[in-house]
Amino acid sequence: MFMKILVPVKRVVDYNVKVRVKPDQSDVDIANVKMSMNPFDEIAIEEATRLKEAGIATEIVAVSCGAAQSQDVIRTAMAIGADRGIHVLCDQPLEPLAVAKLLKAIAQKESAQLVIMGKQAIDDDANQTGQMLAALWNVPQATFASRLVVEGNQIRVTREIDGGLETLSMGLPAVVTTDLRLNEPRYVTLPNIMKAKKKLIEQSTPTDWGVDITSRHKLLKVEDPPSRKAGVRVPDVAALVDKLRNEAKVI
């Protein structure tokens, strides 16, 4: 069976970095800040690579939409296991709907059978692109996957819900978004990094894909979250109940 997997990857501020707000509160300050692949996307490319290693997938295509520096995360995806990359060059911030439209156009052109992507990006935490892509592409979707099994032309996805675990079965093509428990991404080795530099990255623009990326929202202000108050030690349970009842008003 021929199976091509499309894996979108996004360049974000590294999860170990404390994000700073610009003095004018117009946006987040990313000058001289370490950037890396979105952690959920790293899980997605790892899962796709495991499917290829198991002989299920035949080709993995990594896709990134963004500025020229986004090629860095495509190369990282290639070092993990992607065969080639597609870079949609765009210097302006992209909203989830615009990204979903681009991914739909690419998935259709590439005749992808499966799109595996992070459930959300840690910069905006929107958690929208995967769902929008499935709706625009008119294919089934499974979000927050903690286990993925391919069975012929069907996939079975286990996802965590409030009441426990839910297992979904669906046909291909389909969209799957990854949760943290799906796998643990491998360490990228230097030889694979060197090999990735020789792999092909096709560059295009949103116009080439016939997608309007005009922003539908206006960013008004970015603020730091309020500081948490220091904790208070109480002598006994009675004092704790009193504070919860009279100060916190939660009971």
**What is the model's pLDDT at position 223?**
86
Angle at 124 between CA 118 and CA 125, to 5 degrees: 50
Bridge partners, residue 202, by sequence? 86
pLDDT mean across residues, the chain: 92
Burial class of residue 115 (count of CB atoms within 10 Å of its CB; 0-12, 13-18, 19+): buried
**What is the model's pLDDT at position 156?**
96
Residue keyed to tokens 């202000």: 221
DSSP conformation letters of the chain: ---EEEEE--EEE-TTSPPEE-TTSSSEE-TT--EEE-HHHHHHHHHHHHHHHTTS-SEEEEEEEESGGGHHHHHHHHHHT-SEEEEEE--S---HHHHHHHHHHHHHHHT-SEEEEES--TTT----HHHHHHHHHT--EEEEEEEEEEETTEEEEEEEETTEEEEEEEESSEEEEE-GGG--PPPPPHHHHHHHTTS-EEEE-GGGGT-----S-------PPPPPPPP---SSHHHHHHHHHHTS---
**What is the model's pLDDT at position 145?**
95
Q: If you count them, how many residues does the chain have?
A: 251
**What is the model's pLDDT at position 251?**
74
Q: Which domains does the chain have, with CATH numbers?
A: 4-223 (3.40.50.620)
**What is the model's pLDDT at position 88?**
96
**What is the model's pLDDT at position 76?**
95
**Tens-binned pLDDT, residue by residue, of the chain (251 aa):** 679 999 999 999 998 888 888 889 888 888 888 989 999 999 999 999 999 999 999 999 999 999 999 999 999 999 999 999 999 999 888 999 999 999 999 999 999 999 999 999 998 899 999 999 999 999 999 999 999 999 888 999 999 888 889 999 999 999 999 999 999 999 999 999 999 999 999 999 999 999 999 888 888 888 888 888 888 888 899 888 888 888 877 77
**What is the model's pLDDT at position 1?**
61
**What is the model's pLDDT at position 225?**
82
Per residue in 115-141, pLDDT (tens digit) is 999 999 998 899 999 999 999 999 999
